[in-house]
Amino acid sequence: MAAVTGDAGVVKFGTVDSEATVANVTGWSIDISMDTVETTSMGATAYKTFLGGKYSWTGSCEVHWDNADDAGMEAFETALLANDLAKQVMLYPGGASVDYWKGTIAVTGVSMSGSIGDTVKLSVNFTGSGVLTHTG
């Protein structure tokens, strides 16, 4: 497998029927984790034992803010304020190709920052609701 740089990454956000490409993305991430259930019995071993539990996933997206990007950036804030759990995110590591991660999300935070000599940045945090699928 060839290495892929993050330069071509794409983020799409929206509903099942209508996902729009988010403008000016500078980075994104997803984190997948699994709960564990301890099964250690007294006197059985010096080490704890575990069973796998439920999966969960979270992510984030960072962009150079663009107030004209209603389909992307403004939609994140709207979803947060409306407590809208019917949104989807698609994260493409190497450009809008057949290789991507996709899932339904709850937007859990939106923050903006700006400083002299830099662009205004928008950061979005989200939590997956249900299955995260990988296609590719």
Token couple for 35: 């709960």
**Is 44 inside a domain boundary?**
no
Q: Does some domain include residue 90? A: yes
What tens digit of pLDDT does each residue of 91-136 get? Answer: 988 877 778 999 998 888 888 899 999 998 988 899 999 999 998 7
43, part of any domain: no
Domain assignment present for residue 41? The answer is: no
Banded pLDDT at 40 (limits 50, 70, 90): very high
17/81 Cα distance (integer angstroms): 21
- Residue 116 tokens read as 């002299």
Alpha-helix runs per DSSP H in 59-115? 75-81
Say if residues 50 and 38 touch (Cβ distance below 8 Å).
yes
Domain count, the chain: 1
**Residue 88 structural domain:** 11-31+56-135
pLDDT tens per residue, range 42-78: 887 789 999 999 999 999 999 888 878 766 667 777 7
Record the tokens describing residue 90, joined without a space. 């698609």
User: Is the residue at 115 inside a domain?
Assistant: yes
Q: Which residue type sits at 3?
A: A
Kindly state the percentage of the chain with pLDDT values over 90.
37
